[in-house]
Amino acid sequence: MATLSLSNVQKQFGSFQALRDVNLEIGSGEFICLLGGSGCGKTTLLRIIAGLEDATSGSLRLGDDNLADVPCHKRNVGMVFQSLALFPHLNVAQNVAYGLDIRGVDKAERLKKAGALLETVGLGGLGERPVSALSGGQRQRVAIARALAIQPVLFLMDEPFSALDAGLREHLQIEVKKLQRKLGVTTIFVTHDQNEAMSIADRIVILNEGRIEQAGTPTEVYARPATPFVADFMGTNNVFEAQFTGHDVQLDGRSLGAPGASFKGLFGRHQVAVRPEYLRLSRPSEGDAGLVGTVEFVRLLGASIETELNVDGRTFVHTRISDSPPEFQVGDKALVQFDMDHAWMIPS
């Protein structure tokens, strides 16, 4: 298999620019998530990769091949769409074997392959069923098996689980990830759900208004978002413009304490982000560095407790492991301190 390279891909719909300067290299066997809000260009990019849509300019290469010369049906991509488009008049096995049928594989062989794939996706023995007699999760599995039956070089999925309930979605995410690892097929998975992307991707590509904001491992985009947009999208809730004086960091004229090792010697105003787990909350007392805020919301998220604070109209979010009941209640005053060794600067 080969590297997929996108260079300066642009897509124009009339006067509307849906994709701008998309540059991306996807390695063989990689699991990529295209992540972004509605309308940011995820589906358009996926359709261009599949050959269902032409880029207005730019190039796509798969290894040494320029994909502009390769029509959709010769690109050997397996696709799963949000609306599954299973063939209602075909049974489960016939659906899975469809692509093989088109490619002229003989009946015995394609039914054998379909049977094996149905085993792989946990639907062994259901080949004879009409697709109308399947649950939502089972239909998704049929769509996945159908896409993989042709042994694609690229496996593309467009929000395949967004219509399913949370439990089933998580289950299928794990299954797809395991299956992808086993098959080693290069995979591009579109989602608007950052948790979904975090849990399955080798690398997340965050799109905003048709542009790549950042591409990186889940850890990189989560812990070191490169732009304010990514910080916000990945749920880094504490972003503010701080003043660096050389010996301390200030927000609205109040000292947050020493700048920490990574900001030593820094001067001037900079955007700073601190993840919710690197805030410290305590009872306010005179003379402490930090900000005093009011607790606005406390919620228990299973393993963690999230506390939202209002400091002079700014919102900060704190989380900690919930091994004991919440220390702060709504309405309490709390001293908010930032662990500056775990803060980072967002380039402006």
Ligand X SMILES: Nc1ncnc2c1ncn2[C@@H]1O[C@H](COP(=O)(O)OP(=O)(O)O)[C@@H](O)[C@H]1O
Contact residues for ligand X, defined by CB under 6 A: 13, 16, 18, 36, 38-44
Q: Exposed (0-12), middle (13-18) or buried (19+): which is 132, by Cβ within 10 Å?
A: exposed
Contact 269, 241 (CB under 8 A): yes
Residue with smaller CB distance to ligand X, 232 or 332: 232
Q: Long-range contacts: 209-215, Cβ < 8 Å, 24+? A: 209/20, 209/40, 209/41, 210/11, 210/17, 210/18, 210/19, 210/20, 210/22, 210/40, 210/41, 210/44, 211/19, 211/20, 211/21, 211/22, 212/21, 212/22, 212/23, 212/24, 215/24
Of the candidates 281, 322, 315, which has an alpha carbon nearest to the alpha carbon of residue 299? 322
Please state, in angstroms and as integers, the Cα–Cα distance from residue 165 to each residue in 160, 162, 172, 225, following that order.
12, 8, 11, 29
Of the candidates 226, 228, 304, 291, which has an alpha carbon nearest to the alpha carbon of residue 254? 291
Residue with smaller CB distance to ligand X, 39 or 125: 39
Residue with smaller CB distance to ligand X, 77 or 242: 77
Q: How far is the CB of 210 from ligand X (least distance, A)?
A: 7
Cα distance between residue 225 and residue 221, in whole Å? 5
- Residues in contact with Mg ion, counted by CB under 5 A, come to a total of 1
Q: Which does 238 bind (CB under 5 to 8 A by kind): Mg ion, ligand X, none?
A: none
Which one among 41, 43, 194, 328 touches Mg ion, defined by CB under 5 A? 43
Q: How far is the CB of 159 from Mg ion (least distance, A)?
A: 6
Q: Which stretch binds Mg ion (CB under 5 A): 37-45, 107-115, 129-137, 311-319?
A: 37-45
Q: Which does 40 bind (CB under 5 to 8 A by kind): ligand X, Mg ion, none?
A: ligand X
- Decide if residue 191 touches Mg ion (CB under 5 A): no
Q: How far is the CB of 91 from ligand X (least distance, A)?
A: 31
Residue with smaller CB distance to ligand X, 14 or 302: 14
Cα distance between residue 69 and residue 111, in whole Å? 32
Q: How far is the CB of 231 from ligand X (least distance, A)?
A: 20
Q: How far is the CB of 237 from Mg ion (least distance, A)?
A: 26
Q: Which does 275 bind (CB under 5 to 8 A by kind): Mg ion, ligand X, none?
A: none
Q: Which does 39 bind (CB under 5 to 8 A by kind): Mg ion, ligand X, none?
A: ligand X
Residue with smaller CB distance to ligand X, 15 or 329: 15
Residue with smaller CB distance to ligand X, 43 or 140: 43
Residue with smaller CB distance to ligand X, 192 or 270: 192
Cα distance between residue 305 and residue 318, in whole Å? 8
Q: How far is the CB of 44 from ligand X (least distance, A)?
A: 3
Where do contacts with Mg ion occur on this chain (CB under 5 A)? 43
